Amino acid sequence: MKKTRTLSILAGVLIAAGLPPWGWWPLTIAGLALWFSLLDRLTPHGRFGRSLLVGAAWFFPSTVWMADLTPIGWPLAAAAFSVMTALVGWITPSDRG
């Protein structure tokens, strides 16, 4: 369980590293591939939880610039984007069965 949490966070960090200001775009491809490989053979609840971690690790660092505009709005926006990412993971079809 701890390994999958770590891999979920790694996937989100890889995706974020491919976005500006870092812009190491090949890492985004690796992060997306890791994220979707983590969703394999899970229940919708499990896909939601893993995707929520991916989203948090993706959006909190990649939207930190928003704190300059609104310190309160940045964590709220990053959390909302994380939940949207979790919904994408939840609706992703499973390879079960």
Q: Helix (H, G, I), strand (E, B), or coil: what is residue 93?
A: coil
Each domain of the chain, given as residue ranges in start order, spans 2-91
pLDDT score, position 95: 72
Q: Helix (H, G, I), strand (E, B), or coil: what is residue 20?
A: coil
Decide: residue 38, CB within 10 A, 0-12 exposed, 13-18 middle, 19+ buried: buried
Tokens for 74?
A: 């940045």
Cα dihedral 33, 21, 67, 69 sign: negative
Q: How confident is the model at residue 96 (pLDDT cuts 50, 70, 90)?
A: low
For residue 33, pLDDT over 90 is answered with yes
pLDDT score, position 21: 85
* pLDDT tens string 7-25: 999 999 999 999 988 999 9
* pLDDT tens string 51-61: 999 999 999 99
